[in-house]
Amino acid sequence: MSDSNPEPAAPLDEYRDVVRPQWIDFNGHMNAGYYMVAFDDAISPWMAFVGLHAEHRAEHRVTTFSVENHITYEREMREGTTIGVTTQLLAFDRKRIHAMQLMFNLDEGHLAATNEVMSLHISEESRRVTEVHDDVYTRLGRIWEAHRTLEVPPQVGSLMGVPGWTA
């Protein structure tokens, strides 16, 4: 996607899928691992949106690695449910993209899960972190202008623990 796109979506809302039969576990709902599969599938249109599309990656021999994900499960999803995932930019620099994905049950109109993700920009040759090219950095800045006023979901930065427990 070129930086000539005048109005970055806020948030990006391009991913749709359906909960498949093979994603269902013994509890009769979507298995936890398949939430990550859907979130990972939804990151591809996000990376294209920020300028890290297949052509850019091939030309510059770069890619991204997800280095941290934090999923919260808000409500169960059943077989055949239509999924929508939005992605919101939370922060970025020349080497990192911090984003939040929200998964919705589009059939019932509610939030089903969230995924906070940190991605690193990687040189395919060295397999080390490298800076994004100027066009991607500029595009991220334009997206940030559209996303900076969005409400930050309460799941961002959440910690896991047992109340009152100290080790």
> Residue 130 corresponds to which tokens in the numbers above?
């490298």
Per cent of the chain over pLDDT 90 is 89
- Over residues 145-150, the mean pLDDT reads 95
**Structural domain that includes position 34:** 12-147
The answer to whether residue 70 scores a pLDDT higher than 70 is yes
Three-state SS at 41: helix
C-alpha to C-alpha distances, 38 to 24, 30, 75, 131, nearest whole angstrom: 13, 11, 15, 27
Q: pLDDT tens digits, residue range 110-139?
A: 999 999 999 999 999 999 999 999 999 999
CA neighbor of 70 nearest in space, from 43, 41, 101 = 101
What pLDDT does 117 receive? Answer: 98
Q: Identify each DSSP E strand in the chain by its residue range.
A: 12-18, 62-73, 82-92, 96-105, 110-123
Q: How many domains does the chain have?
A: 1
- Does a structural domain hold residue 159? no
- Does a structural domain hold residue 2? no
- Does a structural domain hold residue 163? no
What pLDDT does 68 receive? Answer: 96
What pLDDT does 28 receive? Answer: 96
List the CATH number of the domain containing 114. Answer: 3.10.129.10
- Does a structural domain hold residue 105? yes
Between CA 31 and CA 44 the distance in angstroms is 21
Between CA 59 and CA 70 the distance in angstroms is 31
The answer to whether residue 51 scores a pLDDT higher than 90 is yes
The answer to whether residue 13 scores a pLDDT higher than 60 is yes
- Does a structural domain hold residue 101? yes
CB atoms within 10 A of CB 156: 13
Confidence bin at 100 (pLDDT 50/70/90): very high
